[in-house]
Amino acid sequence: MEDVIKLHYVVPGDDFTRAGAASGDVKRTLKQLGISPAVIRNVSIAMYEGEINMVIHAGGGEIDVEITENGIKMALADKGPGIANVELAMKEGYSTAPDNIRNLGFGAGMGLPNIKKYTDDFRIETAVGVGTTLFLNVNIQ
Amino acid sequence: MKVRDIQEILNAEVICRDDLLDTEVYAACGSDMMSDVLAFVKEQAVMLTGLVNPQVVRTAEMMDMHCIVFVRGKRPDLNMIEMAEDRDMVMLCTDCEMFTSCGKLYSAGLRGGSAQ
């Protein structure tokens, strides 16, 4: 049986300054495991964008990461407002983030497109009023 | 180009990690929007920004960047400086505006990269 490393993070929704701490921790773990820099960067950026989204849009959430010899799987789940129009949300430049978030350097409408770009598998489950979960996978070649 | 060259060209103050001024950088990216920076793929790049908050350091961390240049006189706070020190990043501050900073570095041979 292959080894699986499982990591779990709770992302607080009220502290923008700490957003990204979970992604930073995963990045350090992958580095220690000797994973290639390109794979580490893809995982880090995708997860970081997801983590930021949780804080901006959903009041925080939870992230599960599974590392195997084949790849890194991530599930980012929140109980936020959900995404009414996923197709629109995937469009580069489309954003529902308020001005105060733009002043913090986010809300350019690049979050979900970036996540898709840096992952090999990208699936989104969302329901308005219930929440959103992203299922992401980055392969290790 | 070395980080030291950037410091000289922009007449910038070194805020932290002056032991890493000889680090080579091969590309640059200038933006106040961190998601635009995260869309940018280049090895050993430097970020120029007028944004000051901890997510600037986190973004640079995710991108494996070794240098952040704060333009138009912006200065990071102590928390950000400590984060950068821990992550082996040089922080520079210049009074030059974003456009001027990018122009000077471009003229000196540094190039951007296209977001794919």
Residue B48 CA to residue B105 CA, distance in Å, equals 11
Given A45, A105, A117, which is nearest B55 (Cβ)? Answer: A105
Is B9 part of a structural domain of the chain?
A: yes
A73-100 tens-digit pLDDT:
999 999 999 999 999 999 998 998 888 8
A35-74 tens-digit pLDDT:
999 999 999 999 999 999 999 999 999 999 999 999 999 9
Q: Is the Cβ pair B35, A41 closer than 8 Å?
A: no
Mean pLDDT across the stretch A9-36? 94
Query: Which of A53, A96, A106 has the most B C-beta neighbours within 10 Å, making it the best mutation to test the interface with B?
Result: A106
> Into how many domains does chain B fold?
1
Class of residue A37 by CB neighbours under 10 A (exposed 0-12, middle 13-18, buried 19+): exposed
In chain A, the domains with their CATH numbers are 5-139 (3.30.565.10)
Q: What is the pLDDT of residue B6?
A: 98
Q: Is the Cβ pair A20, B53 closer than 8 Å?
A: no
Is B90 part of a structural domain of the chain?
A: yes
**Higher confidence at residue A104 or residue A29?**
A29
Q: What is the pLDDT of residue B112?
A: 87
Is B70 part of a structural domain of the chain?
A: yes
Q: What is the pLDDT of residue A102?
A: 87
Is B115 part of a structural domain of the chain?
A: no
Q: Is the Cβ pair A104, B58 closer than 8 Å?
A: no
Q: What is the pLDDT of residue B114?
A: 54
Is B113 part of a structural domain of the chain?
A: no
Give the helix/strand (H/E) hosting A137.
strand A131-139
User: Does B116 reach chain A within 8 Å, measured CB to CB?
Assistant: yes
Q: What is the pLDDT of residue B71?
A: 98
Asked if pLDDT for residue B115 goes beyond 90, the answer is: no
Residue A59 CA to residue A80 CA, distance in Å, equals 6
Q: How far is B84 from chain A (nearest CA, A)?
A: 13
What distances in angstroms separate CA A32 from CA A20, A26, A36, A69, A137, one per listed residue? 19, 10, 11, 14, 20
Q: Is the Cβ pair B34, A106 closer than 8 Å?
A: yes
User: Does B95 reach chain A within 8 Å, measured CB to CB?
Assistant: no
Q: How far is A105 from chain B (nearest CA, A)?
A: 4
Which CATH number do you get for residue B23?
3.40.1390.20
Inter-chain Cβ pairs, chain A and chain B, closer than 8 A: 72
Is B112 part of a structural domain of the chain?
A: no
Is B68 part of a structural domain of the chain?
A: yes
The torsion region of residue A78 among left (phi > 0), alpha (psi -120 to 50) and beta comes to beta
Mean residue pLDDT across chain A: 93
Domain around B41: 3-107
B49-101 tens-digit pLDDT:
999 999 999 999 999 999 999 999 999 999 999 999 999 999 999 999 999 99
Q: What confidence category does residue B116 fall into, taking pLDDT thresholds of 50, 70 and 90?
A: very low
Given A24, A107, A110, which is nearest B58 (Cβ)? Answer: A24
Task: Please give the distance of CA A10 from its chain centroid, rounded to a whole number.
Answer: 13
Contact (CB, 8 A) for A4 and A67: yes
Q: Is the Cβ pair A110, B38 closer than 8 Å?
A: yes
Is B86 part of a structural domain of the chain?
A: yes
Mean residue pLDDT across chain B: 93
Q: What is the pLDDT of residue A99?
A: 87
Given B32, B33, B62, which is nearest A48 (Cβ)? Answer: B62
Contact (CB, 8 A) for B46 and B68: yes
Residue B16 CA to residue A94 CA, distance in Å, equals 36
Q: Is the Cβ pair B55, A23 closer than 8 Å?
A: no
Q: The tokens 């995710």 sit on which residue?
A: B62
Tell me how far apart the terminal alpha carbons of chain B are, to the nearest angstrom: 23
